[in-house]
Amino acid sequence: MGCLGPNQTKAFGRPGMGPCQGRYCGLTVTELLAAETGRSQEDTGYYRIRPPLKPVTLGELAVLAETDLKEQEDIS
């Protein structure tokens, strides 16, 4: 399809969109693209990393929100 990098492949074929978010398949995608395009893995690149870097539960997010509120109250 003319994809030159993993992020384009992700948009076209959706690899890296599963539960691991590309942490397991990312290197394989880069290796396959590099082999098909005749480029090095460094030139091909890797998935852009976006937060959160690991799965976060709603409970963890709720605690963060409470902590932020307490810190704001302490500053006031």
Confidence of residue 20 (pLDDT cuts 50, 70, 90): confident
pLDDT-above-70 percentage for the chain: 95
pTM: 0.61
Handedness of CA 9, 33, 46, 27 (dihedral sign): positive
User: What percentage of residues in the chain have a pLDDT greater than 90?
Assistant: 25
What is the DSSP code string of 48-64? PP-S-SS---HHHHHHH
Q: How confident is the model at residue 52 (pLDDT cuts 50, 70, 90)?
A: low
Task: Delimit the domains of the chain by residue range.
Answer: 6-75
- b/e 31-60 (16+ beta carbons within 10 angstroms → b): eebbeeeeeeeeebbbbeeeeeeeeeeeee
Give the pLDDT confidence of 35-46 residue by residue, as tens digits. Answer: 999 999 999 999
Amino acid 38: pLDDT: 93
